[in-house]
Amino acid sequence: MKRNLPKFVLWSLMMLMASLVFASGGSEDDVVLRVFSADSFSSEWGPGPAIAEAFFEETGIQVEFESPGDTVTVLNQLILEGGETRADVVMGPDNGMLKRVLEAGILSPYASPVLADVPQELILDESFHLLPYDFGQFAICYDSESGVRVPTSLEDLTSPEYEDSLILMDPRTSSPGLGFLLWTVAAYGEEWPAYWERLQPSILTVTDGWSQGYSMFTTGEAPLVLSYGTSPAYHAEYEESTRYLAAEFSQGHMTQIEGMGILAGTEHREEAEAFIDFVLSPAAQEMLALYNIMNPVNSTVELPASFDVAIRPSILEFPGGAPSDEENDALIQTWIESFAP
């Protein structure tokens, strides 16, 4: 018995672990609306849970999120699954991915009546397959305590005083990274590779994603980072700090409009439409501002006070609309080669 005791303890510990792991599911009988979204949206720290709860209180419809990764992963999964998907609604594909979404033919259009409250310039898809729910402008954020001079334009960033000061993201692996690349293409036209050559001394590093870059910025590794015009609102809202601010550039800013849509094969069309209407309604739009730190698209919404520190610069359109995947890849290839030593 004495020798068996440790073994007994080990076994019961294992059983306990097993039951803990397997005990976290719920029942599957209720009718639920399946929303596929990026992990950042459905996360406990994102806007998803709050919106789902409010939606349930208003309509009695349950929402279940599924998030296998970032928006690109979600979209890939939906494209791979085609008609067999269990998803009813997708949230997250932005104006940069619009062509891919439309080509895949996975969404069915819905002209929500609430779109009447959305400014025309934010309607990212005239055919209403992908409906906007929030937007943000890519911007260079700066640490006002570092003593860095606030840059005023893309060209200003190439100034020698910014040597090793700027953290960017890789357009191969990150959507802000691609957004910034397109921004420079929109601003400089054919001359954009030359701009990047001038910019290189200012770049400290190019990170794989926004999270890594922004965390390096807030821990003081560099005074400038590629982020969003709304980023200062987070620090104002949750840290009561105006240390981190966004620089407004003269030539206008590239804009990311995040969209949602109803899957063509859904069996819960009515509930899906109700959900879309709800996300566009002022109640949910306020949550998006607070928990996603993006601008709401509904113009009747009063912005939280913390958004006073956010910038709302003019929108710079990409000439001829967002490029296709192939065009993006060609740009990215030229971009990498501009770095060759």
Euclidean distance between the first and the last CA atom of the chain, given in angstroms as a whole number:
71
Q: Which of 12, 211, 314, 324 binds other proteins (CB under 8 A)?
A: 211
What DSSP string describes 202-221?
A: GEEEEESSHHHHHHHHHTTS
C-alpha span between 172 and 287 (Å, rounded): 31
- Site residues for other proteins, 285-314, by CB under 8 A, read 291, 293
- Site residues for other proteins, 251-280, by CB under 8 A, read none
Per CB under 8 A, does 242 bind other proteins?
yes
Using CB under 8 A as the criterion, what x/- string covers residues 144-183 for binding other proteins? Answer: xx------------------x-----x-xx----------
**Closest distance to other proteins from the beta carbon of 319 (Å):** 22
What are 37's two structure tokens? Answer: 């979204």
Per CB under 8 A, does 50 bind other proteins?
yes
Per CB under 8 A, does 54 bind other proteins?
no
Element (H or E) spanning 243, and its range? none
Residue from 163, 167, 160, 140 nearest 151 by CA? 140
- Site residues for other proteins, 104-123, by CB under 8 A, read none
Per CB under 8 A, does 126 bind other proteins?
no
Q: Which of 43, 59, 108, 153 binds other proteins (CB under 8 A)?
A: 43
**Closest distance to other proteins from the beta carbon of 322 (Å):** 14
Q: Which of 109, 119, 238, 330 binds other proteins (CB under 8 A)?
A: 238
Per CB under 8 A, does 61 bind other proteins?
no
Per CB under 8 A, does 15 bind other proteins?
no
Helix axes 325-337, 175-188, angle to 10 degrees: 80
Q: Which of 123, 148, 186, 216 binds other proteins (CB under 8 A)?
A: 216
- Provide φ and ψ at 270, rounded to 5°: -60, -45
Stretch that binds other proteins, among 110-118, 187-195, 196-204, 268-276 (CB under 8 A): 196-204
Per CB under 8 A, does 249 bind other proteins?
no
Radius of gyration of the chain (CA): 22
Contacts of residue 84, Cβ cutoff 8 Å, sequence gap at least 6 = 265
Question: How many positions of this chain bind other proteins (CB under 8 A)?
Answer: 82
What are 230's two structure tokens? Answer: 């709304």
What is the chain's length? 341
Residue from 284, 257, 279 nearest 125 by CA? 257
